């Protein structure tokens, strides 16, 4: 007899309630590896990843490995990422694979199987996706995520200036607004209590963009992944101001600001960031 999986949105809401809003980003940039005295190879990735996961366990709601920084090492790097995701599952730490995949048809189905399939060694609790071939093109991932109790994060409003030319286009009927509306519709139909399992990526430094574009980030209760806190300039006060009314939906990633003091300082940085976001 098959067991219906607990939806990702419910698991994330519980993790935020228990551990707070912090998501530990695991971004093994070459410069950080060098600063830590680690080699820029698979073993360096493995040691870096282990420290960040250890610091996140019991102190943060989730981890977010940046897939590109593993992929650049080819199969050896992806093997380390597989290990990290497995270790996170064993530790009970939710994972966000920051892969930003997006395509159509069987190719999108392949990406979905890679990151959300029950038998995939790369399976994560959730994955970031790009909707700019149309949210409908992401359907293989949305459907598989629902079947397996996993989640997706759809790029909504990103903080890079170039993104505004596409995302803000159309004013009141903006491209970003249509993406958010499609996500809200999916969550309403497939379950949005306490949170939907289809979330949005909304940059922490986008300020009042959602309000200015008439976008309701509360519609459909999407989890909100808000990169930009810490090293990129956004403060906890900025986040609470700009996401007032939807704060319980917010998951705040931080990476460089947690790793800049070296491996011996990571736990303290995680504790301080979690406290900052809880204040």
Catalytic positions are 100
Asked whether the beta carbons of 97 and 85 are under 8 A apart, the reply is yes
Cα Dmax for the chain: 51
Q: What's the rounded Cα separation, in Å, for the pair 228 and 217?
A: 18
Residue 255 phi, psi dihedral angles, 5° rounding = -135, -70
Q: What's the rounded Cα separation, in Å, for the pair 157 and 171?
A: 13
């Amino acid at each position: 007899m098959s067991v219906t999986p607990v939806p990702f949105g419910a698991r994330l809401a519980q993790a935020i309630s228990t551990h707070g809003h912090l998501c530990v980003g695991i971004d093994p940039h070459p410069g950080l590896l060098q600063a830590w005295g680690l080699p820029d190879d698979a073993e360096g990735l493995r040691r870096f990843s282990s420290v960040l996961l250890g610091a996140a366990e019991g102190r943060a709601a989730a981890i977010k490995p940046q897939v590109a920084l593993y992929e650049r090492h080819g199969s050896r790097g992806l093997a380390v990422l597989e290990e990290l995701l497995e270790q996170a599952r064993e530790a009970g730490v939710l994972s966000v694979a920051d892969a930003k995949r997006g395509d159509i048809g069987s190719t999108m189905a392949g990406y979905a199987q890679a990151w959300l399939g029950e038998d995939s060694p790369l399976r994560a609790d959730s994955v970031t996706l790009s909707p700019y071939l149309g949210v409908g093109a992401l359907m293989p991932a949305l459907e598989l995520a629902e079947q397996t109790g996993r989640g997706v994060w759809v790029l909504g409003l990103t903080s890079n200036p170039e993104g505004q030319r596409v995302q803000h286009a159309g004013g009141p009927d903006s491209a970003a607004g249509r993406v958010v509306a499609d996500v809200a519709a999916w969550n309403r139909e497939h379950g949005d209590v306490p949170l939907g399992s289809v979330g949005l990526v909304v940059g922490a430094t986008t300020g009042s963009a959602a309000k200015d574009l008439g976008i309701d980030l509360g519609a459909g209760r999407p989890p909100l992944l808000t990169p930009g806190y810490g090293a990129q300039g956004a403060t906890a006060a900025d986040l609470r101001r700009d996401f007032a009314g939807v704060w319980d939906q917010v998951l705040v990633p931080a990476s460089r600001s947690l790793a800049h003091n070296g491996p011996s300082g990571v736990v303290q940085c995680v504790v301080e960031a979690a406290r900052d976001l809880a204040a």
